[in-house]
Structure 1
Amino acid sequence: MHSVIKRLFPLIVTPYMFGQGFWGNEFPELKIEYAPRTYVCYKTSTPMLVDGKLNDPAWVNSKWSESFVDIEGNLKPDPFYDTKVKMLWDDNYFYFGAEMEEPHVWATLTARDAVIFKDNDFEIFLDPDGDTHNYYELEVNAFETEWDLILLKPYHDQSKVAVDSWDIPGLITKVHVNGTINDPSDMDKGWSVEIAIPWKALEECAPNFHPQEGEQWKVNFSRVQWDVDIVEEQYVKTDSPEFNWVWSPQGLIYMHMPDLWGLVQFTEVSPEQGNVEFQESEIDPIKWALRQVYYRQRNYFFKKNHYTESLKELNLIKTPVEGVPWPPEIVLTPSGWEAALKWDQSTVVIRTDGKVWVK
């Protein structure tokens, strides 16, 4: 259910900072194979009752994603609690449904736009046009408390990129707890979340108001899970770092590399009809090949304090992605550099700040 793009050359091995990116530092090495997971999102023609329970006929007839894995992929053990998602769409909304196994459901945060991942949470990341800029993030805890924001760029490409004063207009979020919340005296089965995001809220960054047949978006999901102790009949977080479980593995503990997210393909077909095959993306391997130029230029600048037009200097004489035509044309610009590859009748371009697009 997922595609694999063979990576012929490793990225430069470098140290990196965690937190919100590694702005001003060397780029990390990707230690897992680039293999974004894929999902076909069907269009429902029946009304959806958003109540967190995922028992509408359209949900029942939709396929679950693969179970979540650790954010670092096969570098870490599989999660000890299961998480899966489904997606649907209609003329009004993009729907998401997730089920999370959890024997002790708890939450503390109730203020809109609080830093929700300080609780256990479920997170959605959407880059509709796949340019790695102007993407959406939504986090929800078991209290249905939301934190929604637009990222103008990833944190590593510029400072002050998060617009967290923005709220998704018309957002619907509902949580169902299969058990009791904040009650350590019993064992729960888990919690589910159902989310409806209006297309109107996504139109600024989406290629079309409604997805076209076969249109593909960069998408990922994350679940943050904290260890807790039960102290005086209350849940208390331990000092252990959180677990980060995701749909499509990133290879490092950092969600804000949209180039590494999975691919969601939209279809007008209903979930009852089903059986639409995911079409291997022609453009994603080209973007991934150009991304290697971006990585190498970042680290070259870190060492030399200038960029280069030389693929030899970047150690990219040979194509980094099998089957992608090479070499690109690299030009230095007043703001840094651009690299371009011909594709079909178009050109795919990537520039200094990581934005990649087709022109």
Structure 2
Amino acid sequence: MCLFQYFYLFLEAEIMKSLYTILTLLLCSSVNSIYAQTTLEQVQHMQSTPKHYGVLRTSTPIQIDGKADEDSWQQAAWTDSFIDIEGKHRPHPTYDTKVKMLWDDEYLYLYAQLEEPHVWGNLTERDTIIYHNNDFEVFLKPFNNSPLYYEIEINPLNTVMDLLMPNPYRLGGDALMHWDVKDLKTAVHIEGTLNNPNDTDRYWTVEMAIPFRSLSTYSRRATPKVDDYWQINFSRVQWQHNIIDGRYSRKKQEGKLLHEDNWVWSAIGIINMHFPERWGYIQFLNNQKESTFPVHYLIEKNAWNIFYLQQLYRKSNAHYANSLEDLNSITNILPVANERWSYSFLTNTENSLYQVEVHDKSQGLRATIDNYGNYMLHGR
């Protein structure tokens, strides 16, 4: 290879490194501007205990028809009724919503019942923005040590929008809308009549079979084993409506759409479903035993509370904290260092970057989190 070719390759490499640096700085700037949106009040509301549910294994076929007639569905328990996304301090939802779940070797099965006196919808194209109609939404995070998660939305017309999120929006993620849950099965049943304002409906239901193989990645297999945990949440978007010339539409006031209601299974504490660390847990069971929280629940909660408080601390001090005492001066939601908990703060000279390690000695677990929201659990 001649000297000119060596020089060309060297120059190309240097240009690529420069472009990478510029893109990284732009991304970090964008991400840091998003971080600043969480307030102390919101962090305090994000301290509620998430829900958990035991998913029973079924050995009989489930027909996806929206009716849940099978004996297995009769054995499955309902979740608690949905509450407002911000938590119990907000008004209770106007209409009841609840879910059942089952699983087998191939699918996670969901059955949701949504009380509704006016069942309507007008979106029929797949992957359109379904929450512009009243809808039911599923959020799934199968892998604890990966930020990747999935979202499925469906309206009363059985129109589906599904997407993959490599990372939450607030951490620089972008929805991959071209991705589909391959071989997803869905059905809707209506106790009433669709798009008919002349009667009063009772409810509409959603039944789904979500194939585990469609959630697997190149390096991670999503098919669960008995006693495995996933994080999951469900959301119901509910709009006030007008009826004009016999047609439903979202209600406006002074030319602007009224805000929708957001009702969920496990409260987030903030009007944003894309906080997967705040979702509930499902445990895949083989019998009728009660579900429990995963052993890593508390260490994960403490790690993310460190992340939230670091953002608040940086807003006030222009740099990150390098001690637990600094963070607990904002609000004392973190357990102090004791025989169970220990913390190790690693920061750069300017305290503009950090990584914190949390150690739960009683469970033999360590977790790390940094200023970019990279969370990792170490241990069992």
TM-score with structure 2 setting the length = 0.81
Amino acid at match of 1:64: W
Give the alignment partner of residue 284 of structure 1, picking from 291, 297, 304: 297
The partner residue of 1:58 within 47, 61, 72 is 72
Q: Given the superposition, is the C-alpha separation of residues 296 and 319 from structure 1 closer, same or farther in structure 2, using an over 3 Å criterion?
A: closer
1:341 aligns with one of 358, 368, 374:
358
C-alpha displacement at 1:22, in angstroms?
Answer: 7.4
Question: What secondary structure is seen at the aligned counterpart in 2 of 1:73?
Answer: coil
Map 1:62-77; keep pairs closer than 5 Å: 62-77=76-91
The Cα offsets for residues 238-272 of structure 1, whole Å up to 9 and x where unpaired, read as 12211111001111211111111111111123xxx
Secondary structure in structure 2 of the residue aligned to 1:331: strand
1:224, distance to aligned residue in structure 2 (A)? 0.4
| 1:297 alignment partner in structure 2 | 310
**Structure 1 residue 321, shift from structure 2 partner:** 4.3
CA contact (8 A) 1:319 1:326 kept: no
What does residue 4 of structure 1 align with?
none
Alignment partner of 2:311: what SS?
helix
1:27 pairs with 2:38: yes
Q: Which amino acid aligns with 1:197?
A: I
Secondary structure at the aligned position of 1:23 is classed as: helix
The residue that corresponds to 1:331 in the other structure is 346
One-letter amino acid of the counterpart of residue 135, structure 1 = Y
Compute the displacement of 1:293 (Å): 1.1
1:42-53 matches, cutoff 5 A:
42-53=56-67
Cα deviation, residue 183, structure 1: 1.0
More divergent stretch after superposition (132-141 vs 294-303):
294-303
Partners of 2:72 and 2:284 lie apart in 1 by 15
1:147 aligns with 2:166: no
Distance (whole Å) between structure 2 residues aligned to residue 261 and residue 79 of structure 1: 19
SS at match of 2:314: helix
Q: Is the 8 A contact 2:143 2:222 kept in 1?
A: no
1:105-163 per-position Cα deviation (integer Å, ceiling 9, x unaligned): 101111111111010000001111234711111110011111111111111111x5211
Write the distance in 1 (CA, Å) between the matches of 2:185 and 2:219.
19
Q: What is the CA distance between 1:55 and its match in structure 2?
A: 1.4
In the alignment, structure 1 residue 307 sits paired with structure 2 residue 320: yes
**Deviating more after overlay: 317-326 vs 37-46:** 317-326
Between 1:95-104 and 1:329-338, the stretch displaced more is 329-338
SS in 1 for 2:310: helix
Q: Distance in 2 between matches of 1:87 and 1:140?
A: 17
Following the alignment from structure 2 to structure 1, what is the Cα–Cα distance between the partners of residues 260 and 219?
32
Partner of 2:369: 350
Identity fraction in percent: 37
Q: Which residue of 1 aligns with 2:270?
A: 252
Amino acid at match of 1:351: D
Tell me which amino acid in the other structure corresponds to 2:76: S
Matched residue, 2:285: 267
The 8 Å contact of residues 130 and 258 in structure 1, kept in 2 or not, is answered as no
1:48-71 CA distances to partner (integer Å, 9 max, x unpaired)?
100111111111111111111111
Contact 2:296 2:365 in 1 (8 A): no
Q: Distance in 1 between matches of 2:146 and 2:198?
A: 45
Counterpart AA for 1:350: I
2:211 aligned with 1:198, yes or no? yes
Q: RMSD between aligned alpha carbons?
A: 2.4
Q: Distance in 1 between matches of 2:115 and 2:44?
A: 28
Structure 2 Cα separation of the partners of residues 237 and 38 of structure 1: 33
Q: Please tell me the residue identity of whatever aligns with 1:340.
A: E
Q: Which sections of structure 2, spanning at least 5 residues, go unmatched?
A: 1-31, 253-257
- The number of residue pairs the alignment matches comes to 333
| Equivalent position SS for 1:163 | coil
- Residue 324 of structure 2: SS of its match in structure 1? coil
Corresponding residue for 1:172? 185
2:111 maps to: 97
Aligned to 2:101: 87
Looking at structure 2, the residues matched to 324 and 27 of structure 1 have their Cα atoms a distance apart, in angstroms, of 31
Q: 2:142·2:222 contact (CA, 8 Å) conserved in 1? A: no
Offset at 1:318?
7.0
- The answer to which of 107-116 and 278-287 deviates more is 278-287
In structure 1, the gaps of 5 or more residues are 1-20
Higher helix share: 2
Larger-Rg structure? 2
Report the secondary structure of 2:328's partner residue: coil
Secondary structure at the counterpart of residue 153 of structure 2: strand
Q: Which residue of 2 aligns with 1:8?
A: none
Report the secondary structure of 2:34's partner residue: coil
**2:132 matched to which residue of 1?**
118
